[in-house]
């Protein structure tokens, strides 16, 4: 997921993407806890994607406020 792609999305689409990523992060944590995690690198990718989405949401929020 690229930040430029995220900037093209609306606020509603970003909220949906954030919710999906948080669910995936939860599922990955549960898999790690039970020892069934097949791709440990996916945890870092999802965490960074969540940060990207939140950053773009804050940019949009501050951009519309000024």
Structural domain boundaries in the chain: 3-65
Other beta carbons within 10 Å of 44:
9
The answer, yes or no, to whether residue 54 has pLDDT greater than 80, is yes
Q: What CATH number was assigned to the domain covering residues 3-65? A: 1.10.287.310
> What value does the mean pLDDT of the chain take?
94
Quickly tell me which residue has 């990718």 as its tokens.
Answer: 45
Share of the chain above pLDDT 70, in %: 95
pLDDT at 65: 58
């Amino acid at each position: 997921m690229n930040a430029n792609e995220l900037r093209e999305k609306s606020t509603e689409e970003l909220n949906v993407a954030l919710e999906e990523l948080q669910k995936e992060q939860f599922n990955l944590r549960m898999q790690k806890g039970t020892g069934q995690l097949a791709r440990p690198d996916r945890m870092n990718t999802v965490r960074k994607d969540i940060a990207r989405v939140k950053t773009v949401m804050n940019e949009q929020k501050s951009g519309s406020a000024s």
